[in-house]
Every structure is written in structure tokens, then in C-alpha cells.
């Protein structure tokens, strides 16, 4: 035996492992979660805590049942799923409901498909869709900030043609933009404050953890399409869960395409489906379903949309010279 270790190259590795990437993601989500707690009060803390505890415990249980050792990345990814799930549901959700959603997310959506890295759909979003289908009334009850009174979200108002008029025709619409921007509005726990979400997103972009192509194509498509449909693009970009979805959910590494061109197509598809659901479909909000539908297309995109490799399709100059 040699006293020296024999390995293949490279002999150095980055310090940025998956546990660190996931920790950064949690840090980037925290400000928006804290704003949600500030706006919607005590039940928000209960929701976030019960969701995270349920996802982590389910993760351990699933890994144990599958005979696998838990690594930090597994647990941290479960924390992200729990945190995200709490952030994409109404603050009026009872705690036991989110626990059931969490168990569904980790056991069915994630581990039934092979665990971390192998799930086809974003676990938090799939769990949200599952909860919306199971308890449609409670899941669409939106409390107003600092208030026990519930009301409709901005998007729901647009659907019923009430807000559309106020945005388009009244000078007071600047006020609506401002509400959306700072987050003083009804909506899911963590989706309301555009500015705080953007700060978290900027952190992830600077750290190189999320890729700009998906949020850029997603948001641009929503803006352009909603304008083409004669709706207000600025409103549609800031309303609902678009900012949270585009920067934190559509960019979920596991469920998005790997290629550069594929990522553009993915964001474009998310944007188009969002606008179609919002303006033509039966629901006021479409971000969640748009991302889930495009998640389903990811394996196909990966297979058929392939970036050009260096030197492919390049002509050999030796042949060129003969023509001259």
C-alpha cells in the first residue's frame, strides 16, 4: 500500500456543496416568510413551523423506509419544501391541513419518484395543488393583512371585473401598485411582498444559485402576453404568486430543464400558461399550475432541446480553401 492516496483528477473541489446551496435558498426565503408573519400574525408562525417539522420528519421516515442514510442535503431540501409550502398557501389554513400537505409532498411527490434529485414535480407546488383540490373552500379564503376580516385577492377581483376597472380607469391605481409592491394585500403567506422577494432573489442570483433565464423568460412572457390580451402588464407581474413562483419555484433545480435553450422554453411555457389560466381559465391564479405543467414537460425538453456543443457544425477550412 502506498502512503499516498490515488484518485482521479481533479484533486480540488469547490466548497459550494448542495447543503450550502440549500442553506442559501432558505436564507433567501426567510425575509418574505417574516413579512408574511408580520402581515398575517400568529397562525403564520404555526403554519411555517408545522409544515417544516412535518416535511423533515417525513423525509427521515421515507429515507429510513428506503434504507438510505440521511445526508444534510436531504434534510435541508425537506426544510425548503416545508417553508415553500407554508408560503404558497393562505394564512387561514389550519395547521393539520398543511401537515397532511407536507406528508403528501415528501412521501408521494418526492420519494415515490426516487427522492432528492429524481422527483418530476416541485413537491411544494404539487402539495398545494393537492390541498386546493381537497379543501377548495378553506384554501381560497384570504385574510386581509392586520385584520381578521377576509376578502378576495387582487387577482380574484380582476376575475370578477371589479379591480380591472379601478386599475385602468382611476388615478388611484398607483396605490394598487404600491400595495402589491410592498405586500400589504391579501394572498398566500409568503407571496405578497414583491420588494422583499426581489431582495431574496437578488441574493440567489449574485450567489449563482439560481439561473436568470427562467425568471426572465417567465416574467417577460407574462408581461407581454397580458398586454396583448389588453390587460395591465405591471399589475400581472406583481400580482399573485408570480414573483415567488418565477424566482423560487420555477428555478427549483430538480424540476427544471438542464440546457440553456431548454430553460428559456421552460420559462416561456410557464409564463404563457399563467396568463392563459389567469385571463381565460376558471381560476384567478395560474402560476402554480403553470409551473407544475411545465415540470411535466421537463424530461421531454431535456431530451429534444440540446445546446450546440463547441465545434459542432463548424466547417473544416481545408475544404473552404479549394473553393477560393
Partner 1 sequence: MKTFKGGIHLEYHKELTAGKPIRDAKEPKIALIHLSQGGAICQPLVKAGDLVKVGQKLGDSDKLISAPVHSSVSGKVTAIENAPHPNGTASKAVYIESDRKSEKVEPIMNISVREAGIVGMGGGSFPAHIKLNPTMGHIIDTVILNGAECEPYITCDHALMIEEPLSIIEGLIGILNTVGAKQGIIAVEDNKLDAYKKIKDVIIQTNIKAVLVETKYPEGGEKELVYALLKREVPSGGFPMDIGCIVSNVGTAHAINRSQKTGMPLTERVITVTGAVKNPSNLRVKVGTKIIDLIDDCGGFSGNPKKVILGGPMMGITQHTLETPIAKCTTCVLVLDEKDVKLFEEQSCIRCCRCVDTCPVQLMPNFLADYSQNDMFAKAIDGGAMDCIECGICSYVCPTRRELVHWIKLAKAKKAKK
- Residues at the interface with partner 1 (CB under 8 A): 2, 4-14, 16-18, 20-21, 71, 73, 77, 115-118, 208-209, 211, 253-254, 256, 258-260, 263, 302, 306-312, 314-318, 321-322
Report the nearest approach of partner 1 to the CB of residue 72 (Å). Answer: 10
Would you say 54 or 116 has its CB closer to partner 1? 116
Within a 10 A sphere around the Cβ of 123, how many other Cβ atoms? 30
Q: How far is the CB of 311 from partner 1 (least distance, A)?
A: 4
Nearer to partner 1, 15 or 161 (CB): 15
CB of 167 to partner 1, least distance (A): 38
Task: In angstroms, give the least distance from the CB of 223 to partner 1.
Answer: 25
Closer CB to partner 1, 91 or 267, in the complex:
267
Residue with cell 440553456: 260
β-strand partners of 151: 142
Nearer to partner 1, 94 or 259 (CB): 259
Dist. CA 243–CA 211, nearest whole Å: 14
Cα–Cα separations (whole angstroms), residue 262 to 93, 98, 222, 299, 300 = 36, 33, 18, 10, 10
- Least Cβ distance, residue 110 to partner 1 (angstroms): 12
Cis peptide before 273 (omega within 30 of 0): no
Q: Which is nearer to partner 1, 5 or 169 (CB)?
A: 5
Q: For residues 199 and 308, which CB has a smaller minimum distance to partner 1 in the complex? A: 308
Separation CA 159–CA 6 (nearest Å): 65
Minimum CB distance to partner 1, residue 156 (Å)? 35
The CA distance from 303 to 209, in Å, is: 24
Q: Environment class of residue 170 by beta-carbon count within 10 Å: exposed (0-12), middle (13-18) or buried (19+)?
A: exposed
For residues 88 and 48, the answer to whether their CB atoms sit within 8 Å is no
Maximal C-alpha separation, the chain: 82
**Alpha-carbon distance 141 to 42, whole Å?**
17
Q: At closest approach, how far in Å is the CB of 271 from partner 1?
A: 20
Report the residue number, 97 or 265, with the smaller CB distance to partner 1: 265
Amino acid at each position: 500500500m502506498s502512503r499516498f492516496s490515488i484518485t482521479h483528477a481533479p484533486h480540488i473541489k469547490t466548497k459550494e456543496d448542495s447543503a450550502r446551496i440549500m442553506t442559501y435558498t432558505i436564507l433567501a426565503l426567510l425575509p418574505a416568510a417574516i413579512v408574511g408573519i408580520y402581515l398575517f400574525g400568529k397562525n403564520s408562525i404555526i403554519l411555517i413551523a408545522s409544515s417544516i417539522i412535518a416535511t423533515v420528519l417525513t423525509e427521515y421516515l421515507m429515507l429510513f423506509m428506503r434504507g438510505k442514510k440521511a445526508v444534510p442535503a436531504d434534510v435541508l431540501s425537506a426544510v425548503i419544501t416545508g417553508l415553500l409550502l407554508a408560503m404558497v398557501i393562505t394564512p387561514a389554513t389550519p395547521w393539520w391541513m398543511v401537515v397532511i400537505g407536507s406528508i403528501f409532498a415528501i412521501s408521494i411527490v418526492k420519494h415515490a419518484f426516487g427522492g432528492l434529485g429524481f422527483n418530476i414535480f416541485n413537491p411544494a407546488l404539487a402539495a398545494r395543488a393537492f390541498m386546493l383540490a381537497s379543501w377548495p373552500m378553506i384554501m381560497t379564503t384570504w385574510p386581509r393583512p392586520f385584520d381578521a376580516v377576509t376578502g378576495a385577492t387582487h387577482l380574484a377581483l380582476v376575475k370578477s371585473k371589479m379591480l380591472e376597472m379601478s386599475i385602468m380607469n382611476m388615478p388611484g391605481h398607483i396605490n394598487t401598485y404600491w400595495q402589491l409592491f410592498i405586500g400589504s394585500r391579501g394572498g398566500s403567506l409568503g407571496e405578497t411582498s414583491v420588494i422583499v422577494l426581489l431582495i431574496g432573489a437578488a441574493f440567489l442570483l449574485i450567489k449563482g444559485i439560481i439561473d436568470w433565464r427562467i425568471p426572465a423568460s417567465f416574467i417577460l412572457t407574462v408581461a407581454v402576453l397580458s398586454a396583448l390580451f389588453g390587460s395591465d402588464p405591471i399589475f400581472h407581474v406583481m400580482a399573485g404568486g408570480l414573483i415567488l413562483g418565477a424566482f423560487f419555484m420555477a428555478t427549483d433545480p430538480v424540476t427544471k430543464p438542464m440546457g440553456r435553450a431548454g430553460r428559456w422554453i421552460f420559462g416561456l411555457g410557464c409564463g404563457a400558461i399563467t396568463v392563459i389560466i389567469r385571463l381565460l381559465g376558471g381560476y384567478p391564479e395560474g402560476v402554480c399550475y403553470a409551473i407544475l405543467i411545465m415540470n411535466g414537460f421537463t424530461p421531454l425538453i431535456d431530451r429534444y432541446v440540446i445546446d450546440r456543443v463547441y465545434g459542432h457544425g463548424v466547417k473544416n477550412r481545408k475544404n473552404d480553401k479549394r473553393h477560393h
